[in-house]
Amino acid sequence: MLALSDIHESPIQTIRHPVLEKHALTLHVKRDDLLHPVIQGNKWRKLKYNLQHLQQSGLKELVTFGGAFSNHLYATSMACKIFAIKGHLIVRGPELDPHNPTLKMASACGLTLHPVSRLEYKKRHQADYLQALQTRFKHAFIIPEGGTNILALKGVEELASTLPASDYVMTAVGSGGTLAGLVAGTPEHTQVLGIAVLKGAQYLEQEVGNLLPDNTTKPWQILHNFHHGGYAKTTPELLSFCTQMKKRYALPLEPVYTGKLFFAIFALAEQGYFENGSVITAIHTGGLQGLDGLRYMQKNIA
C-alpha cells in the first residue's frame, strides 16, 4: 500500500514561443498532470489533506459525489484503491451506463456506485441529507462534490508555495476552489487569474469570495470570455491548439479545462494583456483522463 507522502512534487516546464518572446514573457507550467498517472492535478491537491484527515481520524471509508464523467470521481476511485480506502460514490443518475469509462474505472477500483435521481443529487449540499448519509455510512468521511472544502484549500495552498516567483499565476476555473486556494497561498504581489470554462459563470466571483477570508486584499480575477461555447464545448480551433501544444512542447492538454487555459494565455499574450517582461506560471490541473470521456462521447478528439 502507498503512503500519501509517496506522491512527490511535480516539475516545472518553461515554454518558449515567438508570441511570448515578442512581449518578453516567461511562461512556466507547473506540471501537476505528472503527479500521478491518475490522481493528478488539482484532484490530488484537493484530496491530499482530506485523505490525511480520514486516516488520522482512524476512518477507512469515504463517501463522495459526482456526475458520471467527473474527474473527481475518477481520481478518488484510484486514491481509494492505492490507499486502501473503502469508497462509496453517489453518482448523478438516475441510471448508470455500464460502458462509461469513469464508472468502469471506479468499479474496477472496487468502489460501490450508488446512482441517485437528479432530484436527490440536488440535495448533496443540504445538512439534513448529509446527516442522513452519515448515519447510513457511519464510518465514512464525506467529501463534497469536486472535493472542494477547507482541507482541499490547504492542499492548493501547498501547491502555491511550490511555485516560482511570478507576476501572474493562472488556472482554469470550474467551481473556483482551485483559484481560491491559489489566491490564499500566493504572495501579495502575485495576480491570480482564472479562466472560466463555463459560459455565463459570473456567480463564480461570489463563490470564490466566500472561500476566502473577508479581509483578503490579494489581486485576483476571473476572465469569462474563453469558454469556447460552454462547459465541455469545443471548437476546431481549440482542438487544433491542444494537438499543437502536445506536438511542439510535449504538453498534453484536454479541451475542457487546461486547453482553454493555455489557449487564453496565448490569446492574452498576443493582445498585449500582460505587461512586457512578466513572469506567468500556469497550473496544469491534470484531468487528462477526461479525454477518455470525450472520446466516449465522440467529440472529435485525437
Ligand X SMILES: Cc1ncc(COP(=O)(O)O)c(C=O)c1O
Residue 162 CA to residue 8 CA, distance in Å, equals 12
**In angstroms, how far is the first alpha carbon of the chain from the final one?**
35
Closest to ligand X by CB, 36 vs 137, is 36
Which residues from 226-265 bind ligand X, rule CB under 6 A? Answer: 257
Closest to ligand X by CB, 137 vs 241, is 241
Among 101, 144, 155, 177, binds ligand X (CB under 6 A): 177
| Shortest Å distance, C-beta 36 to ligand X | 13
Residue nearest ligand X (C-beta atom): 287
185 touching ligand X, by CB under 6 A: no
Closest to ligand X by CB, 137 vs 179, is 179
Determine which one of 5, 10, 57, 70 is catalytic. Answer: 70
Closest to ligand X by CB, 111 vs 179, is 179
If 0-12 CB within 10 Å is exposed, 13-18 middle and 19+ buried, where does residue 179 land? buried
| Shortest Å distance, C-beta 173 to ligand X | 5
Among 101, 174, 255, 293, binds ligand X (CB under 6 A): 174
- Name the residue with cell 492574452: 268
Tell me the per-residue interface mask from 36 to 55 with ligand X, x by CB under 6 A, - otherwise. Answer: -----xx-------------
Residue 105 CA to residue 86 CA, distance in Å, equals 15
- Whether 70 sits among the annotated catalytic residues: the reply is yes
10 touching ligand X, by CB under 6 A: no
Q: What is the DSSP letter of 149?
A: S
287 touching ligand X, by CB under 6 A: yes
Closest to ligand X by CB, 176 vs 185, is 176
289 touching ligand X, by CB under 6 A: no
What would the grid cell of residue 118 be?
437528479
Residue 282 CA to residue 151 CA, distance in Å, equals 22
Closest to ligand X by CB, 59 vs 198, is 198
Residue 211 CA to residue 65 CA, distance in Å, equals 20
146 touching ligand X, by CB under 6 A: yes
Which residues is 87 bridged to in the sheet?
62
State the number of CA atoms in the 13 A half-sphere of 46 facing the CB: 27
Among 64, 71, 191, 289, binds ligand X (CB under 6 A): 71
Q: What is the largest CA-CA distance in the chain?
A: 60
Phi, psi of 60 (to 5 degrees): -130, 10
Residue 47 CA to residue 74 CA, distance in Å, equals 12
Only segment of 15-23, 157-165, 168-176, 211-219 that touches ligand X (CB under 6 A): 168-176
Only segment of 50-58, 110-118, 172-180, 262-270 that touches ligand X (CB under 6 A): 172-180
Number of residues interacting with ligand X: please give it, by CB under 6 A: 17
State the number of CA atoms in the 13 A half-sphere of 156 facing the CB: 30
β-bridge pairing 112-116 and 86-92? parallel
Phi, psi of 124 (to 5 degrees): -60, -20
Indicate which residues carry an active-site annotation: 70
Interface residues with ligand X (CB under 6 A) are 41-42, 71, 146, 148, 172-179, 257, 285-287
